[in-house]
Amino acid sequence: MTAKESIRQFALELGFDECRITSAEPPDHGSAYEQWIAAGRHGELAWMERNSHKRLDPRKIVSDARSIICLTASYSGDRTGSVGAVARYARHRDYHDVIAEPLKRLTAFVNELLDEEPRSKASLWYTDTGPILERDAAQRAGVGFVGKHTNLISRGNGNWIFLSEIITRLEIEPDEPEVNRCGKCSACIDVCPTEAITAPFELDARKCISYLTIELKSSIPEEMRPAIGGRIYGCDDCLQVCPWNRFAQEGQIMAEHHRAELNEPDLIELLSLDEQSFRNRFRGTPMFRTKRRGVLRNVSVALGNTADESALPALEVASNDAEPLIAEHAKWAMERIETRCR
């Protein structure tokens, strides 16, 4: 068995759904990334600009890197209703924590195949945590193709996949790249509530509901709030409509980590959470990283868009919250409900 075959076999044994290889050469779409950053379409994601030089060359992450091992872990979940919607990926234990252990084991396995010391520095793993253009690498490795919504699509698992990588000095024969298979389909572009997909394969993050409800740390622009609807964490619309999802399956790694209570949470109850109760509820989930201030900001907006006058007492309390971000959005929600219910 070759090194490549043994790595792939062990990866599948660990529960990964796919394992393919590409070289550690600079990404194919590095110039497009630079143009995207220069245009400011990354919004407040300053870390994306700060580490651009590493994203444009994996060998600046691991010196003398030869290969990138690209892995997927698929997830699934039921489609939620229109109120209290949480993105599917976030209705699980935090994938960073779940995927870390099998990634560490696979990285150690790869390092044992190297004839150098110290082996511990010969490879470096990431799961959406490092300065690497992972979708670019995954497409070049043949894991999937970048769709018109700019997310990676797997022919075997649709849109519902987490990506991970191991950058290594081990030289491994690369796999054939995947080609784009979107065809004439524009469903993801057509369904986007905020027109954040400005053209095929082009995304303005500043308009994306996932960015607005997760990555944005400040106030959500008032003109964008109505389009958020009842969503409180992320948006799956462009992913949901992709026809490749008909092949999607729940993978081994994430299957046991689903958090059913996040399928359709009660917004009024969420709005009442103090700091400790928020921590108790969301610790260990992706939503914990957005903190109480961010989640309750989103809950206020969702109530403003969907609730009737019965939500006003809870919003009144929130409008006096010690956290200004929550108070601001709660006041906006009250005004919106009162205008709608007159």
Distance CA 225, CA 299 (A): 11
Model pLDDT for residues 79-106, shown as the tens digit of each residue:
776 788 999 999 999 999 999 999 999 9
Give the pLDDT of residue 129. Answer: 85
Give the pLDDT of residue 176. Answer: 97
Pair 268, 311: CB distance under 8 Å? yes
* Domains of the chain and CATH, by start: 3-77+92-168 (no CATH), 266-342 (1.25.10)
List, in sequence order, every residue forming a beta bridge with 161; answer none if it has no partner: 74
SS3 state at 112:
helix
Model pLDDT for residues 105-140, shown as the tens digit of each residue:
999 999 999 877 666 678 999 998 889 999 999 999
Q: CA angle, 279 as apex, 278 and 281 as ends, to 5°? A: 65
To the query of whether residue 128 is one of the catalytic residues in this protein, the response is: yes
Burial readout 111-123 (b: 16 or more C-beta within 10 A, e: otherwise): bebeeeeebeebb
Give the pLDDT of residue 42. Answer: 93
Q: What contacts 77, CB < 8 A, 6 or more positions away?
A: 88, 91, 92, 160, 258, 263
List, in sequence order, every residue forming a beta bridge with 222; answer none if it has no partner: none
Give the pLDDT of residue 48. Answer: 85
Nearest Cα residue to 157 out of 87, 72, 80 = 72
The one catalytic residue among 64, 97, 128, 274: 128
Low-confidence ranges of the chain (pLDDT < 50): none
Distance CA 199, CA 6 (A): 41
Q: Is the peptide bond before 118 cis (omega within 30 degrees of 0)?
A: yes
Give the pLDDT of residue 117. Answer: 66
Give the pLDDT of residue 186. Answer: 97
Task: Output the CA torsion 306→309→311→315 (10° steps).
Answer: 100
